[in-house]
Structures are given as C-alpha cells and as structure tokens.
C-alpha cells in the first residue's frame, strides 16, 4: 500500500464508525442530526460538528507547519523540499485525537461547571465529535501530503484551505440559524 493512501483508509474507517455510531444511537432514540435547539449536544451531529471538523483541519495544518519549520531549523536537511516522513503525519494526527478527547472532557466538565455549557453531550455526540476531528485531520493530512507532489497541488492546497474556511463559516452560520430559529 502506498503511504499516500494511509489517511484515506483511516478516513474511510472513521466514516464507517461515524455511520455505525449514528445508527446505533438512532436505534436508542437519539436523533442523528439536530434540527432544533433542544437536540443540540444530544444528536449525533449538530451544527457544532462542522466546527470540530474544521478544528481537525486547522490543528493539523498548524502542527505540521510548526513541526516542519522546527525540523528544518534544527536538522541539516539534504533538501528542504524533501517529503516529510509518514511517522510525522501520524504523530500530528494522534495529537489531534488527544486534543479532541481532552476538549470533550473539558467541555463536559469545566465548561458545564462554570455554566458556559448548559447540558452534557450524549455519548453519541461525544464519539462523533472526536471522530469528526480525526476526519478533519485526515483530510488535512492528505492535502498536505499532496502539496509535496507538485507545484500544481500547492495551489490546490491553498484553494482547499480557503474553501474549507468559507464553507465552514457559511454552513456553520446557516445550521446555527436554522437550529436556533425553528
């Protein structure tokens, strides 16, 4: 298997886990998608899910960028354009999953204690939120890896980043409006 396909296989596995989680939760009466404000944090997916995806995308880019800069400043690279090792990608992705898990703990304990969050997340929502962070990280991992193939992919990488940001804002605002106003 070519190493370039690793994030795609991980993402496929995570998408399958997301679907299974949502359907198992639905069997127990948990809504799959929050369509009104009372279902936020209970449904498997709510408009905050997009934010979790975007955090996965953004954090991977940030960790990869800082890691790449530090590696090239501290090591003696043969060629600064060398493709990074798969191990680095995996480490950054695992860090994202750890942060996602820690965020869910903080969100459902500390933020609840100080009344920033008014209700606890359901188990289905917590699982899908963490997996959504991981999927965002995989998408970013794949796009970052493509960036090293050719200059033509570099333009696609920046276009991808802009599209994620723009669509994230548009979709987040739309779902937030629909969920809280209907």
Residue 33 lies in a domain: no
Residue 31 lies in a domain: no
Instruction: Report, as an integer, the average pLDDT of 46-73.
Output: 84
For 6-37, letters b (16+ CB in 10 Å) and e give: bbeebbeebeeebeebbeebeeeebbbebeee
Residue 11 lies in a domain: yes
Q: Each residue of 96-153: pLDDT tens digit?
A: 999 999 999 999 999 889 988 888 999 999 999 999 999 999 998 888 877 766 555 6
Highest mean pLDDT among 64-68, 96-100, 155-159: 96-100
Q: Each residue of 36-53: pLDDT tens digit?
A: 888 888 999 988 888 899
Residue 38 lies in a domain: no
> How many domains are there within the chain?
1
Residue 142 lies in a domain: yes
Q: Give the model's pLDDT for residue 152.
A: 59
Range of the domain at 171: 3-20+43-181
Residue 108 lies in a domain: yes
Q: What is the pTM of this model?
A: 0.82
Residue 28 lies in a domain: no
Residue 90 lies in a domain: yes
Closest by CA to 7, choosing from 104, 109, 71, 86, is 86
131 Ramachandran zone, left/alpha/beta (phi>0; psi -120 to 50): alpha
């Amino acid at each position: 298997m070519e190493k370039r396909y690793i994030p795609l296989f991980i993402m496929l596995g995570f998408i399958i886990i997301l679907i299974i989680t949502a359907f198992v939760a639905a069997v127990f009466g948990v809504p799959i998608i929050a369509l009104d404000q009372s279902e936020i944090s209970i449904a498997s997916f709510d408009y905050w899910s997009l934010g979790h995806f975007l955090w996965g995308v953004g954090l991977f880019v940030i960790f990869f960028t800082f890691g790449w800069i530090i590696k090239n400043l501290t090591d003696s690279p043969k060629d600064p354009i060398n493709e990074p090792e798969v191990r680095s990608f995996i480490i950054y992705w695992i860090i994202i999953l750890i942060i996602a898990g820690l965020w869910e703990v903080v969100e459902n304990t500390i933020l609840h204690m100080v009344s920033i969050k008014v209700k606890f997340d359901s188990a289905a929502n917590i699982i899908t939120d963490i997996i959504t962070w991981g999927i965002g990280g995989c998408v970013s991992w794949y796009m970052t890896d493509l960036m090293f193939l050719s200059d033509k992919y570099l333009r696609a990488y920046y276009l991808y980043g802009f599209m994620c940001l723009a669509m994230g804002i548009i979709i987040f605002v739309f779902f937030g409006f629909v969920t809280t106003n209907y």
